[in-house]
Structure 1
Amino acid sequence: MDFVLVHGTTQSPASWDRVAKLLAAAGHRALAVDLLTPEDLPVEGYAQHVRDQYDGERPVVVAHSGTGVLLPAIAEALGARSLVWVAAYIPDFAGGRCLRDEARALLEPDWIGVDPAAEPAKASEFLFHDCDPETERPALDSLRLFSPEVLATHPAGPAPEVPSTVIVPTRDRTLRPGWMRQAAKERLGVTAIEIDAGHCPHMSRPAEICGILTGRG
């Protein structure tokens, strides 16, 4: 099975390295795509940018954090068989609100205004607090800001028609676990899978994430 792994707003594709290696060891193909471009694109442009990086068919598409905004469009462009939302924003498909409209309900107050890519200590506090010392160094090395205006302002379109899995880290210090849990139920009609981790479980708990992705978690 193919997995297309989409980095979040504060990390590069390297954030998926550990999960990708585990997926490959289990006999799957994993591609961590890069969303960064020389100039900001519309949502459809980022979806095509991912399409240009992937040469397979019907992958499982996995997105982290704020790139949940892009996940439905990317999945449609790739003809995805299913979607996985990892500590991710789930758009307001019925109401059409954008991420900016929901930010104060979604984000933990102490996280608002923090740029972890510029402040490694803040990254350790908010993103990687559950990482062991061996993991924290590559986690910090993966920091890179990706925050085009479209992520904040794009109004939600229709809900995806393919199945979704939602992974909620119960010790997330950036996105509210309760909000993600409720959004999974109300917006996607699924019960979230909860994991004892912070906002980046693909860094701190890669084997658990791999197990969920492959159906063994």
Structure 2
Amino acid sequence: MDMVLVAGLWLAASEWDAVADALRRRGHRPVAVELPGTGPDAAAAASLEDQVAAVVAAVDAADAPLVVGHSAAAALAWAAADARPGAVRRTVLVGGFPVPDGATYADFFPVVDGAMPFPGWGPFEGADSADLDDAARDALAARTAPVPERVARGVVRLRDERRYGVPVTVVCPEFSPDDARAWVAAGDVPELAAARDVSYVDLDSGHWPMLTRPAELAAVLDDAARA
């Protein structure tokens, strides 16, 4: 099956390389999307609309794909399902959740010179980064690119309620499926509350399983493809 892979904030498409290799061995066709604004010289230029358009273009070039969004990019995967509800076979949300229409995409940290840089490991201490040693943290931080302000502070626009019919798999790395279900039941994730086919999968990792558990994440995606 075709799989469109979308990395979260600050990350390049190459962070999916190990997962993509494992997926190919399982017979799938992974395509990691290089989001506009992730290059070192383009940070201030891109917008949220540009990033959504890049994911939708990857969907259009694929054959009924799974669309996998990591962390904040769960909202990009969901936006692609909204834009192409008849083409996306399933969305897989890894450590993240959809953002409702009219909400800000990812205005989480200070913006500096038109972009939101990686804030360091302080905000991610604990379960998020417990499976990354110091060397892995340093290497990942060095690879990050600031998120354009017009991406981080962009407003999500969703238009087609047929997105609620696209099946969803929520992959739960640093939190549990019970946690995720409780957040949905409490009204914290209204898009998933309205979705008609949502499943939850536990994955024993921190927030970046494509780096620390690539084989296990590929197995989860393979299962989702066969669901």
Q: What's the TM-score, normalizing by structure 1?
A: 0.72
Mapped pair 1:56 → 2:74: no
Q: Which amino acid aligns with 1:36?
A: P
Q: Does the Cα contact within 8 Å between 1:86 and 1:166 map onto a contact in 2?
A: yes
- Work out whether 1:193 is the aligned partner of 2:201: yes
Residue 145 in structure 1 maps to residue 146 in structure 2? yes
Are 1:168 and 2:176 counterparts?
no
- Once the two structures are superposed, the pairs formed by residues 31-46 of structure 1 within 5 Å of their partners are 31-37=31-37, 38=42, 39-43=45-49, 45-46=50-51
| Unaligned 5+ runs, structure 2 | none
Greater mean deviation of Cα atoms: 153-162 or 179-188: 179-188
Number of the residue aligned with 1:209:
217
Cα displacement string for residues 81-126 of structure 1 (whole angstroms, at most 9, x for unaligned residues): 111111113223xxx45147x98xxxxxxxx537995455448736
SS in 2 for 1:154: coil
1:68-107 equivalence runs, <5 A: 68-75=74-81, 76-77=83-84, 79-92=87-100, 96-99=101-104
Q: Distance in 1 between matches of 2:183 and 2:122?
A: 22
| 2:130 counterpart residue number | 129
Q: 1:201 to 1:29 in 2, by over 3 A?
A: same
- Which shows bigger deviation, 116-125 or 59-68? 116-125
Compute the displacement of 1:68 (Å).
2.2
Q: Distance in 2 between matches of 1:6 and 1:181?
A: 26
Contact 1:36–1:146 (Cα < 8 Å) also in 2: no
How high is the sequence identity, in percent, across the aligned residues? 24
**What is the TM-score with the length of structure 2 in the denominator?**
0.69
The amino acid across from 2:14 in the alignment is A
Written as runs of structure 1 = structure 2, the 5 A alignment for 1:109-124 is: 113=109, 117-118=117-118, 120-122=120-122
Structure 1, unaligned runs of 5 or more: 104-111
Q: How far apart are 1:192 and its partner, in Å?
A: 2.0
Cα distance change on mapping 1:186 and 1:52 into 2, 3 Å:
closer
Number of aligned residue pairs: 201
Deviation at 1:51, TM superposition (A): 4.5
User: Superposition RMSD on alpha carbons, in Å?
Assistant: 3.6
Counterpart-to-counterpart distance in 2, 1:12 and 1:211: 22
What's the offset of the Cα at 1:49?
Answer: 2.4
Shift of 1:170: 3.3
User: CA separation of 1:22/1:123 partners in 2, compared to 1, >3 Å: closer, same or farther?
Assistant: farther
Alignment partner of 1:6 is 2:6: yes
